[in-house]
Chains A and B, each alone.
Chain A
Protein backbone atom coordinates (compact mmCIF):
# COMPACT_ATOMS: atom_id res chain seq x y z
CA UNK A 1 0.00 0.00 0.00
CA UNK A 2 1.42 3.40 -0.87
CA UNK A 3 1.39 6.32 1.52
CA UNK A 4 -1.69 7.95 0.02
CA UNK A 5 -3.74 4.79 0.22
CA UNK A 6 -2.49 4.19 3.73
CA UNK A 7 -3.45 7.72 4.77
CA UNK A 8 -6.88 7.38 3.22
CA UNK A 9 -7.42 4.09 5.07
CA UNK A 10 -6.26 5.45 8.42
CA UNK A 11 -8.45 8.54 8.12
CA UNK A 12 -11.46 6.50 7.14
CA UNK A 13 -11.09 4.23 10.16
CA UNK A 14 -10.50 7.21 12.44
CA UNK A 15 -13.67 8.77 11.17
CA UNK A 16 -15.54 5.64 12.20
CA UNK A 17 -14.12 5.88 15.70
CA UNK A 18 -14.62 9.61 16.16
CA UNK A 19 -17.31 10.68 13.70
CA UNK A 20 -17.54 14.19 15.11
CA UNK A 21 -13.84 15.01 14.92
CA UNK A 22 -12.41 17.25 12.22
CA UNK A 23 -9.62 15.03 11.02
CA UNK A 24 -8.18 17.77 8.82
CA UNK A 25 -6.94 19.55 11.92
CA UNK A 26 -5.20 16.62 13.61
CA UNK A 27 -1.55 17.59 14.00
CA UNK A 28 0.56 14.90 12.40
CA UNK A 29 2.79 14.50 15.44
CA UNK A 30 0.34 14.84 18.32
CA UNK A 31 -0.90 11.58 19.78
CA UNK A 32 -4.26 10.56 18.37
CA UNK A 33 -5.55 9.77 21.82
CA UNK A 34 -5.00 13.34 22.91
CA UNK A 35 -5.98 15.01 19.67
CA UNK A 36 -9.24 13.11 19.34
CA UNK A 37 -10.03 12.36 22.99
CA UNK A 38 -9.84 8.64 22.39
CA UNK A 39 -10.06 6.38 25.39
CA UNK A 40 -8.84 2.80 25.52
CA UNK A 41 -12.04 1.35 24.07
CA UNK A 42 -11.91 3.88 21.21
CA UNK A 43 -8.30 3.04 20.53
CA UNK A 44 -9.05 -0.67 20.53
CA UNK A 45 -11.86 -0.02 18.08
CA UNK A 46 -9.47 1.94 15.92
CA UNK A 47 -7.03 -0.96 15.90
CA UNK A 48 -9.84 -3.41 15.13
CA UNK A 49 -10.97 -1.13 12.30
CA UNK A 50 -7.44 -0.99 10.89
CA UNK A 51 -7.24 -4.75 11.14
CA UNK A 52 -10.45 -5.15 9.18
CA UNK A 53 -9.40 -2.60 6.58
CA UNK A 54 -5.89 -3.95 6.04
CA UNK A 55 -5.86 -7.52 7.26
CA UNK A 56 -2.89 -6.72 9.50
CA UNK A 57 -2.87 -8.54 12.83
CA UNK A 58 -1.44 -5.53 14.74
CA UNK A 59 -0.08 -7.08 17.96
CA UNK A 60 -0.20 -4.95 21.08
CA UNK A 61 3.54 -4.41 21.06
CA UNK A 62 3.06 -2.43 17.84
CA UNK A 63 0.61 0.00 19.48
CA UNK A 64 3.32 2.60 20.15
CA UNK A 65 3.88 2.87 16.40
CA UNK A 66 0.20 3.82 16.05
CA UNK A 67 0.24 6.68 18.50
CA UNK A 68 0.34 9.46 15.89
CA UNK A 69 -1.32 9.92 12.53
CA UNK A 70 2.04 9.77 10.74
CA UNK A 71 2.98 6.68 12.70
CA UNK A 72 -0.22 4.96 11.60
CA UNK A 73 0.25 5.89 7.95
CA UNK A 74 3.81 4.59 7.96
CA UNK A 75 2.82 1.40 9.75
CA UNK A 76 0.02 0.63 7.33
CA UNK A 77 2.15 1.57 4.29
CA UNK A 78 4.88 -0.82 5.43
CA UNK A 79 2.31 -3.55 5.94
CA UNK A 80 2.99 -3.69 9.64
CA UNK A 81 6.70 -4.41 9.44
CA UNK A 82 8.82 -2.45 11.90
CA UNK A 83 10.11 0.98 10.99
CA UNK A 84 13.30 0.56 8.92
CA UNK A 85 15.65 2.20 11.39
CA UNK A 86 14.40 0.67 14.61
CA UNK A 87 13.92 -3.08 14.51
CA UNK A 88 16.49 -4.68 12.25
CA UNK A 89 19.77 -3.44 13.63
CA UNK A 90 18.70 -4.30 17.15
CA UNK A 91 17.59 -7.78 16.20
CA UNK A 92 20.85 -8.46 14.37
CA UNK A 93 22.84 -7.28 17.33
CA UNK A 94 21.05 -9.42 19.90
CA UNK A 95 21.09 -12.54 17.78
CA UNK A 96 24.85 -12.43 17.49
Chain B
Protein backbone atom coordinates (compact mmCIF):
# COMPACT_ATOMS: atom_id res chain seq x y z
CA UNK B 1 0.00 0.00 0.00
CA UNK B 2 1.72 3.18 -1.13
CA UNK B 3 1.75 6.25 1.04
CA UNK B 4 -0.41 8.73 -0.80
CA UNK B 5 0.37 11.73 1.33
CA UNK B 6 1.97 12.32 4.69
CA UNK B 7 -1.28 11.91 6.55
CA UNK B 8 -2.17 8.51 5.21
CA UNK B 9 -1.62 5.41 7.31
CA UNK B 10 -3.98 2.95 5.70
CA UNK B 11 -6.02 2.45 2.57
CA UNK B 12 -8.53 0.13 0.99
CA UNK B 13 -8.12 -1.45 -2.41
CA UNK B 14 -11.53 -0.81 -3.90
CA UNK B 15 -10.78 -2.23 -7.30
CA UNK B 16 -8.00 -4.09 -9.01
CA UNK B 17 -7.44 -2.93 -12.58
CA UNK B 18 -5.11 -5.83 -13.33
CA UNK B 19 -5.22 -9.56 -12.69
CA UNK B 20 -2.60 -12.22 -12.13
CA UNK B 21 -0.85 -12.98 -15.39
CA UNK B 22 -1.28 -9.47 -16.80
CA UNK B 23 1.73 -7.75 -18.26
CA UNK B 24 2.19 -4.29 -16.81
CA UNK B 25 4.34 -1.34 -17.72
CA UNK B 26 5.64 1.47 -15.66
CA UNK B 27 3.01 4.15 -15.28
CA UNK B 28 0.06 1.82 -15.86
CA UNK B 29 -2.83 2.17 -13.48
CA UNK B 30 -3.12 -1.04 -11.52
CA UNK B 31 -5.58 -0.40 -8.70
CA UNK B 32 -8.01 2.01 -7.18
CA UNK B 33 -7.36 2.78 -3.56
CA UNK B 34 -9.68 4.54 -1.21
CA UNK B 35 -8.07 6.73 1.43
CA UNK B 36 -9.65 8.96 4.03
CA UNK B 37 -9.37 11.78 1.56
CA UNK B 38 -10.18 10.48 -1.85
CA UNK B 39 -10.16 7.64 -4.30
CA UNK B 40 -6.74 7.36 -5.89
CA UNK B 41 -5.66 5.47 -8.97
CA UNK B 42 -2.39 3.74 -8.18
CA UNK B 43 0.30 3.62 -10.83
CA UNK B 44 2.90 0.91 -11.09
CA UNK B 45 6.55 1.82 -11.35
CA UNK B 46 8.10 -1.15 -13.01
CA UNK B 47 7.57 -3.38 -15.99
CA UNK B 48 6.71 -6.99 -15.40
CA UNK B 49 4.03 -9.60 -15.05
CA UNK B 50 1.56 -9.64 -12.18
CA UNK B 51 2.24 -12.81 -10.22
CA UNK B 52 -0.26 -12.50 -7.43
CA UNK B 53 -2.75 -9.99 -6.04
CA UNK B 54 -2.08 -10.29 -2.33
CA UNK B 55 -4.68 -7.93 -0.91
CA UNK B 56 -8.24 -8.56 -2.05
CA UNK B 57 -10.65 -5.80 -2.99
CA UNK B 58 -12.39 -4.24 -0.03
CA UNK B 59 -9.73 -4.89 2.59
CA UNK B 60 -8.24 -1.97 4.48
CA UNK B 61 -4.51 -2.42 5.07
CA UNK B 62 -1.74 -0.25 6.56
CA UNK B 63 0.70 1.67 4.39
CA UNK B 64 3.63 -0.55 3.47
CA UNK B 65 1.58 -3.71 3.11
CA UNK B 66 2.44 -5.69 0.00
CA UNK B 67 -0.52 -5.35 -2.36
CA UNK B 68 0.69 -7.52 -5.20
CA UNK B 69 3.72 -9.37 -6.43
CA UNK B 70 5.15 -8.50 -9.79
CA UNK B 71 7.85 -10.47 -11.57
CA UNK B 72 10.23 -8.22 -13.43
CA UNK B 73 11.21 -9.19 -16.98
CA UNK B 74 13.94 -11.81 -16.89
CA UNK B 75 13.40 -12.40 -13.21
CA UNK B 76 12.68 -15.89 -11.94
CA UNK B 77 9.64 -16.23 -9.77
CA UNK B 78 11.05 -15.84 -6.28
CA UNK B 79 10.86 -18.79 -3.96
CA UNK B 80 9.25 -18.31 -0.57
CA UNK B 81 12.58 -18.13 1.20
CA UNK B 82 13.57 -15.02 -0.66
CA UNK B 83 10.60 -13.13 0.62
CA UNK B 84 12.13 -12.17 3.91
CA UNK B 85 10.72 -9.11 5.50
CA UNK B 86 13.81 -7.10 6.23
CA UNK B 87 15.77 -8.05 3.15
CA UNK B 88 16.01 -6.44 -0.21
CA UNK B 89 12.72 -5.04 -1.35
CA UNK B 90 10.60 -7.56 -3.15
CA UNK B 91 9.51 -6.63 -6.65
CA UNK B 92 6.08 -5.82 -5.35
CA UNK B 93 7.53 -3.45 -2.84
CA UNK B 94 9.44 -1.67 -5.52
CA UNK B 95 6.29 -1.59 -7.51
CA UNK B 96 4.69 0.77 -5.14
CA UNK B 97 7.50 3.13 -4.66
CA UNK B 98 6.13 6.54 -5.38
CA UNK B 99 7.63 9.28 -7.44
CA UNK B 100 8.37 11.18 -4.28
CA UNK B 101 10.39 8.35 -2.91
CA UNK B 102 12.21 7.97 -6.14
CA UNK B 103 12.99 11.66 -6.08
CA UNK B 104 14.79 11.35 -2.80
CA UNK B 105 18.47 12.13 -3.14
CA UNK B 106 20.48 9.05 -3.84
CA UNK B 107 17.72 7.22 -5.58
CA UNK B 108 16.87 9.93 -8.11
CA UNK B 109 17.74 9.02 -11.64
CA UNK B 110 19.77 11.77 -13.18
CA UNK B 111 17.74 13.59 -15.77
CA UNK B 112 19.51 16.16 -17.83
CA UNK B 113 17.66 19.39 -18.57
CA UNK B 114 17.78 18.49 -22.25
CA UNK B 115 15.99 15.22 -21.58
CA UNK B 116 13.40 16.87 -19.39
CA UNK B 117 12.67 19.53 -21.93
CA UNK B 118 12.47 17.05 -24.76
CA UNK B 119 10.16 14.82 -22.76
CA UNK B 120 7.95 17.77 -21.92
CA UNK B 121 7.80 18.82 -25.55
CA UNK B 122 6.89 15.33 -26.68
CA UNK B 123 4.49 14.75 -23.83
CA UNK B 124 6.44 11.77 -22.53
CA UNK B 125 6.11 10.88 -18.87
CA UNK B 126 9.66 10.38 -17.66
CA UNK B 127 8.39 8.41 -14.69
CA UNK B 128 7.24 5.74 -17.10
CA UNK B 129 10.49 5.52 -19.06
CA UNK B 130 13.14 2.89 -18.65
CA UNK B 131 16.58 4.43 -19.05
CA UNK B 132 19.25 2.79 -21.16
CA UNK B 133 22.10 5.15 -20.31
CA UNK B 134 24.78 4.55 -17.67
CA UNK B 135 23.21 3.54 -14.37
CA UNK B 136 19.75 3.50 -15.87
CA UNK B 137 19.94 7.14 -16.91
CA UNK B 138 17.24 8.23 -19.30
CA UNK B 139 18.84 9.50 -22.48
CA UNK B 140 17.57 11.61 -25.34
CA UNK B 141 17.34 8.46 -27.41
CA UNK B 142 15.04 6.87 -24.84
CA UNK B 143 12.69 9.82 -25.01
CA UNK B 144 12.76 9.88 -28.80
CA UNK B 145 12.03 6.18 -28.88
CA UNK B 146 9.14 6.52 -26.49
CA UNK B 147 7.77 9.38 -28.57
CA UNK B 148 7.99 7.39 -31.79
CA UNK B 149 6.37 4.36 -30.20
CA UNK B 150 3.33 6.42 -29.54
CA UNK B 151 2.06 5.84 -33.01
CA UNK B 152 2.54 2.14 -33.44
CA UNK B 153 3.72 0.36 -30.31
CA UNK B 154 0.89 -1.79 -29.06
CA UNK B 155 1.50 -1.24 -25.39
CA UNK B 156 1.61 2.47 -25.93
CA UNK B 157 -2.11 2.91 -26.31
CA UNK B 158 -3.63 6.13 -27.52
CA UNK B 159 -2.47 8.69 -25.03
CA UNK B 160 -5.45 9.58 -22.94
CA UNK B 161 -6.16 10.38 -19.35
CA UNK B 162 -7.98 7.92 -17.10
CA UNK B 163 -10.71 10.48 -16.73
CA UNK B 164 -11.00 10.77 -20.48
CA UNK B 165 -11.23 6.99 -20.77
CA UNK B 166 -13.83 6.79 -18.06
CA UNK B 167 -15.90 9.56 -19.58
CA UNK B 168 -15.57 7.92 -22.97
CA UNK B 169 -16.97 4.68 -21.65
CA UNK B 170 -19.81 6.51 -19.90
CA UNK B 171 -20.71 8.42 -23.00
CA UNK B 172 -20.19 5.52 -25.33
CA UNK B 173 -17.47 7.34 -27.21
CA UNK B 174 -14.85 5.38 -29.14
CA UNK B 175 -11.50 6.84 -28.16
CA UNK B 176 -10.09 6.04 -31.56
CA UNK B 177 -12.54 8.54 -33.01
CA UNK B 178 -11.44 11.32 -30.70
CA UNK B 179 -9.00 13.96 -31.82
CA UNK B 180 -6.63 14.66 -28.96
CA UNK B 181 -5.77 18.27 -28.18
CA UNK B 182 -3.65 17.61 -25.09
CA UNK B 183 0.14 17.52 -24.96
CA UNK B 184 1.50 15.42 -27.84
CA UNK B 185 -2.01 14.80 -29.07
CA UNK B 186 -3.15 13.15 -25.85
CA UNK B 187 -6.89 12.82 -25.55
CA UNK B 188 -8.27 14.93 -22.74
CA UNK B 189 -11.59 14.59 -21.04
CA UNK B 190 -12.70 17.78 -22.77
CA UNK B 191 -12.00 16.19 -26.16
CA UNK B 192 -14.26 13.30 -25.27
CA UNK B 193 -17.01 15.61 -24.10
CA UNK B 194 -16.67 17.66 -27.21
CA UNK B 195 -17.13 14.65 -29.44
CA UNK B 196 -20.01 13.38 -27.34
CA UNK B 197 -21.68 16.78 -27.53
CA UNK B 198 -21.17 16.89 -31.28
CA UNK B 199 -23.01 13.61 -31.70
CA UNK B 200 -26.60 14.68 -31.09
CA UNK B 201 -28.25 11.45 -29.94
CA UNK B 202 -25.50 10.58 -27.51
CA UNK B 203 -25.42 14.07 -26.11
CA UNK B 204 -28.84 14.21 -24.53
CA UNK B 205 -28.97 10.85 -22.82
CA UNK B 206 -25.93 10.70 -20.57
CA UNK B 207 -26.58 14.05 -18.95
CA UNK B 208 -27.69 12.17 -15.90
CA UNK B 209 -24.03 11.76 -15.17
CA UNK B 210 -22.92 15.20 -14.07
CA UNK B 211 -20.52 16.54 -16.63
CA UNK B 212 -17.22 17.26 -15.09
CA UNK B 213 -15.92 20.75 -15.00
CA UNK B 214 -12.93 21.79 -12.94
CA UNK B 215 -12.46 24.79 -10.78
CA UNK B 216 -9.86 25.99 -8.37
CA UNK B 217 -11.42 28.03 -5.65
CA UNK B 218 -8.69 29.29 -3.45
CA UNK B 219 -8.29 28.87 0.20
CA UNK B 220 -5.73 27.97 2.74
CA UNK B 221 -6.31 24.58 4.20
CA UNK B 222 -7.00 26.05 7.59
CA UNK B 223 -9.14 29.01 6.70
CA UNK B 224 -12.85 28.80 6.95
CA UNK B 225 -14.30 27.95 3.60
CA UNK B 226 -16.92 30.46 2.64
CA UNK B 227 -17.75 28.74 -0.60
CA UNK B 228 -19.59 25.45 -0.30
CA UNK B 229 -21.61 26.33 2.76
CA UNK B 230 -24.57 24.19 1.78
CA UNK B 231 -23.11 21.09 0.24
CA UNK B 232 -26.02 19.80 -1.74
CA UNK B 233 -25.47 16.09 -2.07
CA UNK B 234 -24.07 15.52 -5.50
CA UNK B 235 -23.91 12.27 -7.37
CA UNK B 236 -20.17 12.77 -7.61
CA UNK B 237 -19.54 11.96 -3.93
CA UNK B 238 -22.62 10.29 -2.59
CA UNK B 239 -21.12 9.04 0.64
CA UNK B 240 -21.50 11.58 3.38
CA UNK B 241 -18.99 9.62 5.39
CA UNK B 242 -16.26 10.69 3.01
CA UNK B 243 -16.71 14.31 3.93
CA UNK B 244 -16.29 13.52 7.59
CA UNK B 245 -13.15 11.45 7.04
CA UNK B 246 -11.72 14.05 4.68
CA UNK B 247 -12.29 16.79 7.24
CA UNK B 248 -10.66 14.64 9.88
CA UNK B 249 -7.68 13.86 7.67
CA UNK B 250 -7.18 17.54 6.89
CA UNK B 251 -7.49 18.38 10.56
CA UNK B 252 -4.89 15.88 11.63
CA UNK B 253 -2.42 16.84 8.92
CA UNK B 254 -2.78 20.55 9.64
CA UNK B 255 -2.47 19.96 13.38
CA UNK B 256 0.72 18.07 12.76
CA UNK B 257 1.97 20.91 10.58
CA UNK B 258 1.27 23.53 13.24
CA UNK B 259 2.79 21.32 15.91
CA UNK B 260 5.98 20.41 14.08
CA UNK B 261 6.74 23.18 11.62
CA UNK B 262 7.93 26.56 12.87
CA UNK B 263 6.22 28.65 10.22
CA UNK B 264 7.26 32.13 9.22
CA UNK B 265 5.20 34.30 6.93
CA UNK B 266 6.08 36.92 4.33
CA UNK B 267 4.01 38.83 1.85
CA UNK B 268 4.56 41.14 -1.06
CA UNK B 269 2.40 42.85 -3.64
CA UNK B 270 3.11 42.13 -7.27
CA UNK B 271 2.09 44.28 -10.22
CA UNK B 272 0.59 41.90 -12.76
CA UNK B 273 0.11 44.37 -15.61
CA UNK B 274 2.75 42.67 -17.73
CA UNK B 275 1.40 39.20 -17.02
CA UNK B 276 -2.18 40.26 -17.78
CA UNK B 277 -1.22 41.91 -21.05
CA UNK B 278 0.83 38.90 -22.08
CA UNK B 279 -2.12 36.61 -21.33
CA UNK B 280 -4.50 38.84 -23.23
CA UNK B 281 -2.27 38.76 -26.28
CA UNK B 282 -1.62 35.03 -26.04
CA UNK B 283 -5.32 34.27 -25.73
CA UNK B 284 -6.31 36.55 -28.58
CA UNK B 285 -4.64 34.12 -30.98
CA UNK B 286 -6.02 31.01 -29.37
CA UNK B 287 -9.21 29.10 -29.89
CA UNK B 288 -11.28 29.01 -26.76
CA UNK B 289 -10.26 25.43 -25.97
CA UNK B 290 -6.57 26.23 -25.55
CA UNK B 291 -6.78 29.53 -23.71
CA UNK B 292 -4.69 30.10 -20.63
CA UNK B 293 -5.60 31.47 -17.23
CA UNK B 294 -3.41 33.53 -14.95
CA UNK B 295 -3.18 30.61 -12.54
CA UNK B 296 -0.99 28.72 -15.01
CA UNK B 297 1.44 31.65 -15.12
CA UNK B 298 1.46 31.86 -11.33
CA UNK B 299 2.34 28.17 -11.07
CA UNK B 300 5.16 28.65 -13.57
CA UNK B 301 6.49 31.64 -11.69
CA UNK B 302 6.39 29.71 -8.42
CA UNK B 303 8.30 26.81 -9.94
CA UNK B 304 10.92 29.11 -11.41
CA UNK B 305 11.42 30.76 -8.06
CA UNK B 306 11.64 27.35 -6.40
CA UNK B 307 14.48 26.47 -8.73
CA UNK B 308 16.31 29.62 -7.75
CA UNK B 309 15.66 29.20 -4.04
CA UNK B 310 15.81 25.44 -3.48
CA UNK B 311 15.18 25.73 0.27
CA UNK B 312 11.50 26.12 -0.57
CA UNK B 313 11.26 22.97 -2.64
CA UNK B 314 11.48 19.51 -1.14
CA UNK B 315 10.79 17.57 2.02
CA UNK B 316 11.78 17.72 5.64
CA UNK B 317 12.23 14.10 6.64
CA UNK B 318 14.03 12.45 9.55
CA UNK B 319 15.35 15.68 10.95
CA UNK B 320 16.84 17.00 7.75
CA UNK B 321 15.83 18.85 4.62
CA UNK B 322 15.96 17.00 1.35
CA UNK B 323 15.71 19.38 -1.56
CA UNK B 324 13.91 18.02 -4.58
CA UNK B 325 15.56 18.15 -7.99
CA UNK B 326 12.14 18.32 -9.66
CA UNK B 327 9.44 20.90 -9.00
CA UNK B 328 6.00 19.34 -8.59
CA UNK B 329 3.58 22.01 -7.50
CA UNK B 330 0.67 20.91 -5.33
CA UNK B 331 -2.45 22.86 -6.15
CA UNK B 332 -4.98 23.34 -3.38
CA UNK B 333 -8.29 22.33 -4.90
CA UNK B 334 -11.37 23.00 -2.83
CA UNK B 335 -14.03 20.41 -3.39
CA UNK B 336 -17.49 21.80 -3.93
CA UNK B 337 -18.80 19.45 -1.30
CA UNK B 338 -16.26 20.72 1.23
CA UNK B 339 -12.66 19.90 1.93
CA UNK B 340 -9.39 20.50 0.15
CA UNK B 341 -7.04 18.27 -1.78
CA UNK B 342 -3.65 19.39 -3.04
CA UNK B 343 -2.60 17.14 -5.90
CA UNK B 344 0.56 17.80 -7.88
CA UNK B 345 1.05 19.40 -11.25
CA UNK B 346 4.30 17.77 -12.32
CA UNK B 347 7.53 19.33 -13.59
CA UNK B 348 6.13 22.83 -13.66
CA UNK B 349 9.63 24.27 -13.92
CA UNK B 350 10.39 22.55 -17.20
CA UNK B 351 6.98 22.37 -18.87
CA UNK B 352 5.74 25.10 -21.19
CA UNK B 353 2.86 27.20 -19.90
CA UNK B 354 0.49 25.28 -22.16
CA UNK B 355 1.56 22.00 -20.60
CA UNK B 356 1.07 23.40 -17.11
CA UNK B 357 -2.38 24.69 -18.07
CA UNK B 358 -3.43 21.32 -19.46
CA UNK B 359 -2.19 19.48 -16.39
CA UNK B 360 -3.84 21.99 -14.10
CA UNK B 361 -7.24 21.54 -15.74
CA UNK B 362 -6.86 17.81 -15.72
CA UNK B 363 -5.75 17.52 -12.11
CA UNK B 364 -8.43 19.84 -10.79
CA UNK B 365 -11.05 17.93 -12.70
CA UNK B 366 -9.84 14.60 -11.39
CA UNK B 367 -9.61 15.90 -7.83
CA UNK B 368 -13.25 16.89 -8.05
CA UNK B 369 -14.20 13.47 -9.33
CA UNK B 370 -12.16 11.31 -7.01
CA UNK B 371 -9.86 10.03 -9.72
CA UNK B 372 -6.44 11.29 -8.72
CA UNK B 373 -3.36 9.19 -9.35
CA UNK B 374 -0.95 7.97 -6.74
CA UNK B 375 1.93 10.11 -7.99
CA UNK B 376 -0.20 13.23 -7.85
CA UNK B 377 -1.12 12.61 -4.24
CA UNK B 378 2.28 11.68 -2.94
CA UNK B 379 4.81 13.91 -4.53
CA UNK B 380 4.13 17.65 -4.51
CA UNK B 381 7.37 19.36 -3.51
CA UNK B 382 5.77 22.74 -2.77
CA UNK B 383 2.12 23.81 -2.64
CA UNK B 384 0.23 26.77 -4.04
CA UNK B 385 -3.09 27.88 -2.64
CA UNK B 386 -5.66 30.46 -3.57
CA UNK B 387 -5.55 30.70 -7.27
CA UNK B 388 -6.89 34.12 -6.97
CA UNK B 389 -10.51 34.33 -7.81
CA UNK B 390 -12.73 34.02 -4.82
CA UNK B 391 -12.25 37.34 -3.20
CA UNK B 392 -9.63 37.36 -0.44
CA UNK B 393 -6.71 39.70 -0.86
CA UNK B 394 -4.13 37.53 0.82
CA UNK B 395 -3.93 34.00 2.13
CA UNK B 396 -1.45 32.76 4.72
CA UNK B 397 -1.52 29.01 4.45
CA UNK B 398 -0.43 26.08 6.53
CA UNK B 399 2.44 24.04 5.10
CA UNK B 400 1.65 20.50 4.00
CA UNK B 401 4.19 18.28 5.75
CA UNK B 402 6.69 17.02 4.81
CA UNK B 403 6.89 19.97 2.41
CA UNK B 404 8.59 23.11 3.59
CA UNK B 405 6.78 25.97 1.88
CA UNK B 406 3.36 27.06 0.77
CA UNK B 407 2.68 29.97 -1.56
CA UNK B 408 -0.59 31.89 -1.51
CA UNK B 409 -1.93 34.08 -4.28
CA UNK B 410 -4.64 36.61 -3.53
CA UNK B 411 -7.20 38.24 -5.73
CA UNK B 412 -6.16 40.51 -8.57
CA UNK B 413 -7.36 44.01 -7.75
CA UNK B 414 -6.68 47.38 -9.28
CA UNK B 415 -4.50 49.43 -6.98
CA UNK B 416 -2.80 52.78 -7.15
CA UNK B 417 0.83 52.32 -8.04
CA UNK B 418 3.45 55.04 -7.81
CA UNK B 419 6.02 54.60 -10.53
CA UNK B 420 8.77 57.07 -11.47
CA UNK B 421 6.97 59.87 -9.72
CA UNK B 422 3.67 59.13 -11.44
CA UNK B 423 0.58 57.58 -9.98
CA UNK B 424 -1.15 54.93 -12.02
CA UNK B 425 -3.80 52.27 -11.49
CA UNK B 426 -2.50 48.76 -12.07
CA UNK B 427 -3.81 45.23 -11.55
CA UNK B 428 -1.95 43.83 -8.56
CA UNK B 429 -2.05 40.78 -6.36
CA UNK B 430 -0.59 39.86 -3.02
CA UNK B 431 1.72 36.87 -2.89
CA UNK B 432 2.43 35.26 0.44
CA UNK B 433 4.89 32.68 1.59
CA UNK B 434 4.60 30.35 4.54
CA UNK B 435 7.93 28.65 5.01
CA UNK B 436 9.66 26.27 7.40
CA UNK B 437 12.14 27.98 9.71
CA UNK B 438 14.02 24.72 10.21
CA UNK B 439 15.04 24.95 6.59
CA UNK B 440 15.21 28.61 5.64
CA UNK B 441 14.97 32.07 7.09
CA UNK B 442 13.28 35.29 6.13
CA UNK B 443 16.09 36.42 3.90
CA UNK B 444 15.77 33.42 1.61
CA UNK B 445 12.00 33.66 1.79
CA UNK B 446 12.20 37.27 0.68
CA UNK B 447 14.45 36.26 -2.17
CA UNK B 448 11.91 33.64 -3.20
CA UNK B 449 9.03 36.13 -3.32
CA UNK B 450 11.19 38.67 -5.15
CA UNK B 451 11.96 35.98 -7.70
CA UNK B 452 8.25 35.31 -8.29
CA UNK B 453 7.77 39.03 -8.81
CA UNK B 454 10.70 39.24 -11.20
CA UNK B 455 9.47 36.32 -13.29
CA UNK B 456 5.96 37.71 -13.51
CA UNK B 457 7.35 40.96 -14.94
CA UNK B 458 8.78 38.96 -17.87
CA UNK B 459 5.99 36.54 -18.72
CA UNK B 460 7.32 36.08 -22.25
CA UNK B 461 10.27 34.20 -20.76
CA UNK B 462 8.09 31.64 -19.06
Query: Which of B190, B213, B234 has the most C-beta atoms of chain A within 10 angstroms of its own C-beta?
Result: B213
Q: Kindly provide the distance from the CB of A82 to the nearest chain B CB, expressed in whole angstroms.
A: 17
Given A41-B364, A60-B284 in contact, is the A33-B389 Cβ separation under 8 Å? yes
> Chain A: which residue is nearest B211 at the CB level?
A16
Grouping DSSP codes into helix (H, G, I), strand (E, B) and loop, the A interface class, with mixed when no group exceeds half, is helix
Interface size class of chain A, counting residues whose CB lies under 8 Å from the partner chain: 20 to 34
- Smallest beta-carbon distance A84→chain B, Å: 24
Interface residues of A in 48-71 (CB under 8 A from B): 48-49, 51-53, 57-61
**Taking the complex as formed, is A47 at the interface, i.e. its CB lies under 8 A from any CB of chain B?**
yes
Identify 17 residue pairs between A and B in the complex whose beta-carbon atoms are under 8 Å apart, listed by A's number. Answer: A18-B213, A19-B336, A20-B228, A20-B231, A33-B389, A38-B389, A39-B217, A41-B293, A41-B361, A41-B387, A44-B291, A45-B361, A47-B288, A48-B190, A48-B289, A52-B197, A57-B288
Shortest beta-carbon distance from A71 to chain B in Å: 17
The 9 closest A-B pairs by CB, nearest first: A39-B389, A42-B215, A16-B211, A19-B210, A17-B213, A45-B213, A40-B293, A51-B288, A20-B232
A20-B337 contact in complex given A40-B389, A41-B293, A44-B293, C-beta closer than 8 Å: yes
In the complex, what residue of chain B is closest to A56 when comparing beta carbons?
B288
Asked whether, in the complex, the Cβ of B217 is within 8 Å of the Cβ of A19, the reply is no
Q: Measured between C-beta atoms, what is the minimum distance from A41 to chain B in Å?
A: 5
Report whether over half of chain B's contact residues are helix, strand or loop; otherwise say mixed: loop
Interface size range on B against A: 35 or more
* B227-274 interface (Cβ within 8 A of A): 227-228, 231-232, 234, 236
Is residue B390 contacting chain A, with contact meaning CB distance below 8 A? yes
**B193 neighbours in A (Cβ, 8 Å):** 52
**Other A-B pairs, 15, CB within 8 Å; known A20-B234, A45-B215:** A16-B213, A20-B231, A33-B389, A37-B228, A39-B388, A40-B293, A40-B388, A41-B295, A42-B213, A44-B291, A45-B361, A48-B288, A49-B213, A52-B193, A60-B280
For B234, list chain A residues within 8 Å (CB). 19-20
- A17–B231 Cα distance when bound, in Å, is 16
Chain B CB count within 10 A is highest, among A37, A39, A47, A53, for A39
* Nearest chain B residue, comparing its CB with the CB of A51: B288
B213 engages A60 (CB within 8 Å): no
Q: Mark B192-226, 1 if CB is under 8 A from A, else 0.
A: 01100110000000000011011111100000000
